[in-house]
Each structure stands twice: as C-alpha cells, then as structure tokens.
Amino acid sequence: MIFEDPFNFLWLFAFAVPIIYLYLKHKANGQVTFSSLSQLKRIKPSAILKLRHVLIGLRLVAVFLMIMALMRPQKGIEETKVETEGIDIILSIDVSGSMLAEDFILNGERKNRLEVVKDVVRDFIKKRTNDRIGLVIFAGRSYVQCPLTLDYGVLLQFLERAEIGMIEDGTAVGDGLAAALTRLRKVDSKSKVVILLTDGVNNAGKVDPLNAAELARATGVRVYTIGAGSKGQVPFPARDFFGNKVYQWAVIDVDDETMTKIAETTGGRYFRATDTESLRKIYDEIDRLEKTKVELNAYMEYKELFQPFVILALMIILAEAALRHTRLRTLP
C-alpha cells in the first residue's frame, strides 16, 4: 500500500491539538456547587464514569481516520514486468599533455581533445539510467577520479574537474586499464565494461597494456578502446613572445595496433575518432552495444482505499455523539 498525498498527515496536528486543548479547558471549567462534599466522597465511581474519557479518544480516532483518508491510500492491482538495463562501466580517459592538441571542432570553435571528449562523455553518461559508472584518468600514472556510482550528478562534477596537468605527464595506457580493472574486479555484476580512450602510445607506467588486456579477459571485463585525434601533424597551442595564443604543428601518433589487440583480447572493439562527430557516434555505438536486460516489478494501476477509513470515521463520530448525549452525558 502507498499514499498518494502523504503530507496530508500534517493535518493531524492541526486538528488533534485544538481538540485536546478544548477538552481540557472544558473539563477544568465544569463545576457544580455543593454545601458539603463529605457525602459525595463515599460514592464509588461507576463503570460508566470511568469511561468518560472515551469520548475524546473516539474523536481523536475519527480525526486520525479522516486524515488517513485524505492521504489517499492506494494498492497496486495490476502487476507488470518492466525490463530495464544495468551494467558496470568504467570510463578510462587520457589526460596527458598531447590531449591539448586542437584538431577537433565543437560548436563551431576549435577545442582541444580533452574538452571535446568531456562534452561527448557527458552526453553518454546522461543517456544511461540504471548503470553504475566510474571514472579513471591517466597520464604518466593512473588515478581513480570517481568510483562506481549511480549518482550521475557527482560523476559529472568529477568529470569537469579532470584537467590536463593534474597528473605527471606521459601516457600510461596499461596503468589506466589496470586501475579500471581493480575497481571492477570485486564487483558482482552481470556485465562489466571499460571504455578506454587515449590519443597516444604507451610510454609510461608499470603495467604493459597487453598484460592488462589478458587480466581483463580473465576477469570477464570487456574493453572498448578509442583512439582519439588525427594522424600526422596537428595544431598544438602555444604562446608567443607577447603572450598571444599561436599554433605549432606537432606529430602525435596513436598506437592503433596495441589498442586493437586490447579490444580483441577482451571481446570488445577498437574505434578511431578523428573528429567530434565520429567520437560522438562511437559512444552512441557503445551505448547501443552495452545493454543488459533486468526484470523489475511495477504496478501500473492503483485502487483507492480511502473509503473504508471514511466509513469507519463516520461510524465512530456517530457513536461518540450518541454516547455524549446518552450514557456519557455530562452536566453543562
């Protein structure tokens, strides 16, 4: 049973307190003048007299039942099976210095690779509903930016805080994957996925990328790898003598072979993103690939249950009125 308007319960205090106050005030003011109470003290109170406080109790019970009716109790009468999806995903993102290359266009402006990746990943996160998602960032070493969570608001905040230069420079692809696997290793879930994005070649860290891939296969983790950025010369921002932003051409290579082997070893796929639109399509494709069906019970129709509360309250009010004017009648 659920209540459609649970906050109507507050009306109980609005009615109960005045009722009790008026009862106590009436009780204190009621009096009859006698010349002597000596004879009255010998009279033992009858059973009816002992029940004189029942009236206030009945009135409070009636008020309580009416408030319960106002809260609109309901019961589900049609149970249906709803299919939803839920998996565990770790996003492992390269934040090395090469991600400063501005060979991507976002909203008509030239942006560096990390800015575009964050924009695309933000949309990817918002499309998921029942998945636990975590975030690992890596450069010269790896760092768990956010553990697995269903709180996407917090996850997006941690994503915004990921910046180039917050970790010593380098490209530790193996460490970035290993850190993600550490978070997924002890998780008991039907499907575990790592989405690993980098724009360079592994040149730092303690874990070999292919060894990390073997570990992922052994633990049942599927890895999707993404190589971001154009091949060959790309514009790299710099400052001239006067502090103005200028571009220098730099060659940044992506190790397509290693990234492909990582994905194939774990049953995933390797994607190549050379512009913003292709990167967005890659995450959309992964979003479609990684769906796990979970059945949940849901009630689509509800039956109102307030009528019995109203009927019982009216019966108690009638009983209270009848007793007040008959057996439990008091002197004015």
CB atoms within 10 A of CB 34: 9
**Dist. CA 239–CA 250, nearest whole Å:** 15
pLDDT confidence of residue 235: 86
Q: Is the pTM of this model over 0.75?
A: no
pLDDT confidence of residue 296: 47
The predicted-structure confidence for 226-257, as pLDDT tens digits, reads as follows 999 887 788 888 887 777 888 888 888 889 99
The CATH H-level (homologous superfamily) assignment of domain 87-291 is von Willebrand factor, type A domain (3.40.50.410)
**Dist. CA 147–CA 46, nearest whole Å:** 71
Q: Angle, to 10 degrees, between the axis of helix 113-127 and the axis of helix 152-161? A: 180
Q: What is the residue extent of each domain of the chain? A: 2-30+39-78+300-324, 87-291
306 neighbors 67 (Cβ within 8 angstroms)? no
pLDDT confidence of residue 43: 59
Torsion of CA 235, 238, 241, 246, to 10 degrees: 40
Which residues are within 8 A (CB) of 256 and not within 5 positions of it... i.e. 6 or more apart? Answer: 227, 270, 272
**Dist. CA 23–CA 53, nearest whole Å:** 10
From the first residue on, what is the mean pLDDT of each consecutive set of 10 residues in the chain (332 residues)?
68 67 57 58 59 70 79 67 70 94 88 94 91 95 94 95 93 96 85 93 94 95 93 82 82 90 96 92 90 53 75 81 70 52
The predicted-structure confidence for 194-217, as pLDDT tens digits, reads as follows 999 999 899 999 999 999 999 999
288 neighbors 139 (Cβ within 8 angstroms)? no
